[in-house]
Structure 1
Amino acid sequence: MSLPSATQAVLFDLDGTLLDTANDLGAALNHLLLQNNLPLVERSAYRPVASDGAKGLLELGFKDKLSAFNFQELRQQFLSYYENNIATHTSIYSGVIELIEYLKQHNITWGIVTNKPEDLTLKLLPNFPEFNDCQVIIGGDTLAKRKPDPEPLLHACKEMNVDPKHTLYVGDAPRDIEAGNAANMTTVIAQWGYINNLSDCNNWLSDFSCKSPLEIKALIK
């Protein structure tokens, strides 16, 4: 099976797809745990939860003690620390730059649709000038709905003036594939992202599943 020859655009999730942000998110979690004299969380534990944002990470770290805190205040403390240290340990996944260059060379538009809050997304991305030519950026609160609803993906296509049927969506979480399928896009699982058990991907109903960004380049070829 190969991608449609008339691929017009590629949309990407952000955390766990283009950027490995897990260590900065984990640092924000551990900062709060340390402040509250609670055990720190190892990378092996927080990495698979990194795509779930503040809520998922706080639930992981605070466990049954979370109910003893004001969740909104705790979430704001998490986001504040993360915002102030947003690109300390974050890096671009190997192969992503080459893939983006390939898209540019073949006049294929690309953009980002993430559930990360828009303000954090816009603060993070300038740290990576390799993404300066991104055509559209949709955050988790840019619209009234977010993934797994297809609306953000459809809105991105409208902004780029491309047909969803000729658009590829790449992500590392079930909600990414669900949203892409609902938008009638070609969906690709980013196996290099925050996936705890790759065998679970068999149930996501994606069109493709790739071990590295460079495999996507080969599919579009």
Structure 2
Amino acid sequence: MKNESGDFKLKGRKMAVTTLIFDLDGTLLDTLQGIGRSMNRVLKRNDFPVHPLSAYRYFVGEGAENLVRKAIPHQQQALVPRLLAEFLADYGLHWADKSGPYDGIENMLKALTGKWTLCVLSNKPDRITQKCVHHFFPDVPFKTVRGQIDGIPKKPSAEGVWGIIKPLDVNQSQCLFIGDTKIDMLTAKAAGMASVGVTWGFRPREELEVNHARHIIDHPMQLLDVLKAYEN
């Protein structure tokens, strides 16, 4: 949050931050059209109504299975396993279509590299998460990249966060979690770490405020201003 002078105001005790954990879709990458087009192709092949791409802003964020559940007619929920397989097959071929980093993301990551440990935690299937990160950010030395893995609870569970930070030998007070939805804010809360909500993603500022984002930023480079508040 900003105070009247325009500076970011830190709530709570200041701690040195060493590790930044980013959500992927809606935070680093704009993937909305690619995801929506893949799901709409599946719907069309099965003679179900398709959705405007803007509707997918509220379908994504909780994993592929929940995306399918939200996209198909309520009375057809028994078809979720088959349609999920169809979606993953289609999106597995088209994950890069109509997708790419948001404006300012590459410059932000360049500014962060070498100064903070950078990680990614997504509810996108792990295989596709890995492909996206390596394709769109080939020169960024992410320490850990993790998507949805069978047997590990999805965000907003903190299990994925623990799986990232324990091998790094850091605690939650040394981390920031950066994302664009309530799922990300709730993940940070569950893990006991400060959250940074971004307004350029899939959800509005109000969702971030209601879910108690510690900081809210409107441009990627503003993350550097937030981090200054955590310097010793």
Q: Do both share a fold (TM > 0.5)?
A: yes
Structure with the higher helix share, 1 or 2: 1
**Cα offset for 1:35?**
0.9
CA 1:54 to 1:37, structure 2 compared with 1: closer, same or farther past 3 Å? same
Instruction: Indicate if the aligned counterparts of 2:173 and 2:193 stay in contact, CA closer than 8 A.
Output: yes
CA 1:214 to 1:48, structure 2 compared with 1: closer, same or farther past 3 Å? farther
- For the residues of structure 2 that align with 1:109 and 1:143, how far apart are their CA atoms? 26
- For the residues of structure 1 that align with 2:156 and 2:62, how far apart are their CA atoms? 12
CA 1:146 to 1:184, structure 2 compared with 1: closer, same or farther past 3 Å? same
Matched, 1:218 2:225: yes
2:135 to 119, 127, 141: 127
> SS at 2:185's partner residue?
helix
The match for 1:89 is 98
Q: Which amino acid aligns with 1:156?
A: I
**Per-residue displacement from partner, 1:172-211 (whole Å, max 9, x unpaired)?**
122211221222211111221111x432322202211112
- For the residues of structure 1 that align with 2:125 and 2:67, how far apart are their CA atoms? 15
**Per-residue displacement from partner, 1:54-101 (whole Å, max 9, x unpaired)?**
33433343223423x521011000010000111011110112112111
> SS at 1:78's partner residue?
helix
Matched, 1:198 2:214: no
Structure 2: 5+ residue stretches without partners: 1-8
Instruction: Indicate if the aligned counterparts of 2:113 and 2:141 stay in contact, CA closer than 8 A.
Output: no
- Give 4+ residue runs of structure 1 displaced > 4 Å after superposition: none
Structure 1: 5+ residue stretches without partners: none
Number of positions where the alignment pairs a residue of Structure 1 with one of Structure 2: 218
- For the residues of structure 2 that align with 1:166 and 1:57, how far apart are their CA atoms? 32
Aligned sequence identity (%): 26
**Cα offset for 1:132?**
3.8
Q: Which amino acid aligns with 2:176?
A: L
The match for 1:41 is 51
The match for 2:173 is 165
- Give the stretch that moved more between structures: 43-52 or 71-80: 43-52
- Give the stretch that moved more between structures: 84-93 or 143-152: 143-152
- For the residues of structure 2 that align with 1:143 and 1:208, how far apart are their CA atoms? 31
CA 1:60 to 1:143, structure 2 compared with 1: closer, same or farther past 3 Å? closer
> For the aligned residues, what is the CA RMSD?
2.1
- For the residues of structure 1 that align with 2:168 and 2:72, how far apart are their CA atoms? 41
**TM-score, scaled to structure 2:** 0.85
Q: 1:131-170 maps to which residues of 2 (within 5 A)? A: 132-141=140-149, 144-170=152-178
Q: Which amino acid aligns with 1:50?
A: V
CA 1:19 to 1:131, structure 2 compared with 1: closer, same or farther past 3 Å? farther
Q: 1:45-84 maps to which residues of 2 (within 5 A)? A: 45-67=55-77, 70-84=79-93
- Give the stretch that moved more between structures: 49-58 or 20-29: 49-58
Q: Which amino acid aligns with 1:204?
A: N
- For the residues of structure 2 that align with 1:21 and 1:149, how far apart are their CA atoms? 23
- Give the stretch that moved more between structures: 109-118 or 127-136: 127-136
- For the residues of structure 2 that align with 1:146 and 1:115, how far apart are their CA atoms? 6
- For the residues of structure 2 that align with 1:158 and 1:48, how far apart are their CA atoms? 31
